[in-house]
Structure 1
Amino acid sequence: MEFNDLKIFQTVAAHGSVSKAALELNYVQSNVTARIKLLEKELQTPLFYRHKRGMILNTEGKRLLEHSREISSKMEEMIRTFQDKSNPSGVLEIGIVETVVALPDILSSYYSKYPNVELSLKAGVTDLLLQKVIDMKLDGAFVTGPIKHPLIEQIEVIQEKLVLVTKGSTFSMEDITTRPLLLYNKGCGYRERLESWIKAEGIIPKQIMEFGTFGTIIGSVAAGIGITIIPESSVTDLVANGIVCSHSVPEPYREITTIFIRRKDSYLTSTLRCFVDEIVARTS
């Protein structure tokens, strides 16, 4: 089995198509097909369900995909080990929840010191970003903490207060039964705090509307559509300008901690090490 066979396998799995994989890899289709068949022969098991419109991983294929990703990650780590540690370069993939107030300062300082690093930012909710770090699809991520997981190392970035945000200046818990809650998708730490609070109060919300971005949520609140929960720092200017109004959240649901996480058993590249150092310097 060659390492390149695993790359071909991963590409076919990602596209569900030999032709699309061949196009991406700049191979002829027959070569891709032959390498997949050879891989199945060596492993003595089919890896795909084949149908007219393409290919879908079967159970054994999913197992191989997990192992192949780990192998690919280790190979990439080995290569990055030999980078110039005093002058980091390459791509650094970082996950973010959209309301990390400290992020612009961290990124600006890091960019100015290490211009050869290409930062790729992936937005998402905490649960999704955590899984991507565990699966080594991200080098690290800013998420809502704390996180308890044996594979995860975490650094506290900032502690903030959550607030409820509405269009009007008045709010009561009864409003939740008559107006929609505008929230991030499941897996968001802010949403979990609000849901725990209203559950403890025995309140059933009128409706939950899910959104993927902060801009859409806060724009909808400003339009009077509903209520959201968000870190206070992310709406300070909007409140000061009278666009929206904020309302306090009681303990123990108020305090929220943003942390930076990475997989502790992965190799700490010079690129990521310098990024972690920048976080510590900016938040200590």
Structure 2
Amino acid sequence: MDLLSLRYFRAVARHQHISRAAEELRVAQPSLSRTIIRLESELGVPLFDRHGRRIRLNEHGAAFLRRVERILTELDDARREMADAAGDGPGRVAVAAETLVQLGGVLAALRAHRPGVGVRLFQAPPESMRRHLSSGEVDFAVASQPLAGPGLCAVELVREEVMLAVPPGHPLAGREHVTVAELADEEFVSTRPGHWQRALLDRLFAREGLTPRVVCEGDEAAATPELIGAGLGLGLMPAVARQTLGGRSPVVWLRLDAADCHRTLTLVWRQDAYLSPAAQDFRRLAMDAAHASGVMSSWRNRSWKV
């Protein structure tokens, strides 16, 4: 059993698809298949259930994957730590986030503090963030909804109000606030399930025994104001968007009379992860930015394990 076989296994286990894993690894499919078969033969148990050309990780494979993830993550952490000890360049930091917009200022500050620092960004929903963290692919996740899991630490950066955006001329446009029950028959523009806007919308409606009528869903949250302004439906938007758009806002803003109608941004990292000096600088700058920003007036500097 060698490290290359373990890396191949991890890729196949993640994709549960030989050709996609081969594409990621840039190896030939037959070679990848033979490596997995040899690994299973060496271990004495099948790691995947096979149905024709389809494969699925079985209970043995899931148990093996948990240990392989730890092995490869520790190895990658060790390599980064030794590179930092050798003074090998300005370092690098990798971050996953649901939306990348809020990272611009922090990354600019990091590059000013550490010229030449390497930065790698992943746009991902919470489940993918958790996987990126556990595998060591990223140092941090910036999550807009709770990101629970064993061995994770987090610091709350932002707690901001989420408002209802409606098209100009809509019957609700003259109101200052509205209840969720009054929105039962309205159509909504939202993100796909898994993103924080959709999770909040579903949660607020479920609390009233309702299901929102989503007529437009996608992954491009930044397009939501324009779609709402075009009359496609209503939508939930963070209060910071109102400030950012200012007089250019194509929508009318209302407050929702609902408990817990806010978005909380948290910075999350693995408790036992090695954080390079560059990663530590990113964490400090992110917390400094949260503390200094006016839109983060309810910022609380506290960390916890989840």
2:201–2:212: 8 Å Cα contact kept in structure 1? no
Q: Deviations over 1:36-69 (max 9, x none)?
A: 3332222111223456546544332333233222
Q: CA deviation at 1:99?
A: 7.3
2:174 to 170, 179, 184: 170
Cα distance between partner residues in 2 of 1:209 and 1:52: 36
Partner of 2:97: 96
Identity within the alignment, % = 21
Task: Answer yes or no: is 1:180 the counterpart of 2:181.
Answer: no
Cα distance between partner residues in 1 of 2:231 and 2:44: 60
Which consecutive residues of structure 2, in runs of 5 or more, have no partner in the other structure?
A: 292-306
2:215–2:233: 8 Å Cα contact kept in structure 1? no
Q: TM-score, normalised by structure 2?
A: 0.76
Which consecutive residues of structure 1, in runs of 5 or more, have no partner in the other structure?
A: none
Partner of 2:204: 197
Change (3 A) 1:209 1:80: same
Cα distance between partner residues in 2 of 1:19 and 1:195: 33
1:112 aligned counterpart, secondary structure: helix
2:84–2:276: 8 Å Cα contact kept in structure 1? no
Q: Letter of the aligned partner of 1:232 in structure 2?
A: A
2:16–2:56: 8 Å Cα contact kept in structure 1? no
Q: Letter of the aligned partner of 1:256 in structure 2?
A: R
1:110–1:278: 8 Å Cα contact kept in structure 2? yes
Q: CA deviation at 1:70?
A: 2.0
Cα distance between partner residues in 1 of 2:254 and 2:24: 54
Change (3 A) 1:146 1:24: closer
Partner of 1:107: 107
Change (3 A) 1:147 1:242: closer
Change (3 A) 1:11 1:107: same
In terms of mean alpha carbon deviation, does 244-253 or 161-170 score higher?
244-253
Q: TM-score, normalised by structure 1?
A: 0.81
Q: Letter of the aligned partner of 2:240 in structure 1?
A: S
Q: Letter of the aligned partner of 2:277 in structure 1?
A: S
Cα distance between partner residues in 2 of 1:19 and 1:107: 32
Task: Answer yes or no: is 1:17 the counterpart of 2:24.
Answer: no
Within a 5 Å distance, the mapping from 1:21-60 to structure 2 comes to 21=22, 24-25=25-26, 29=30, 32-50=32-50, 53=53, 55-60=55-60
Partner of 2:144: 144
Task: Answer yes or no: is 1:218 the counterpart of 2:252.
Answer: no
Change (3 A) 1:161 1:145: same
Q: Deviations over 1:172-224 (max 9, x none)?
A: 54662332122223333444444443344455534464321213322321211
In terms of mean alpha carbon deviation, does 256-265 or 118-127 score higher?
118-127
In terms of mean alpha carbon deviation, does 32-41 or 151-160 score higher?
32-41
Partner of 2:275: 268
Q: Deviations over 1:66-101 (max 9, x none)?
A: 3222211111001001123675424x3211132764
Cα distance between partner residues in 2 of 1:215 and 1:23: 29
1:154–1:260: 8 Å Cα contact kept in structure 2? yes
Cα distance between partner residues in 1 of 2:28 and 2:218: 40
1:157–1:259: 8 Å Cα contact kept in structure 2? yes
Task: Answer yes or no: is 1:78 the counterpart of 2:85.
Answer: no
Cα distance between partner residues in 1 of 2:201 and 2:12: 42
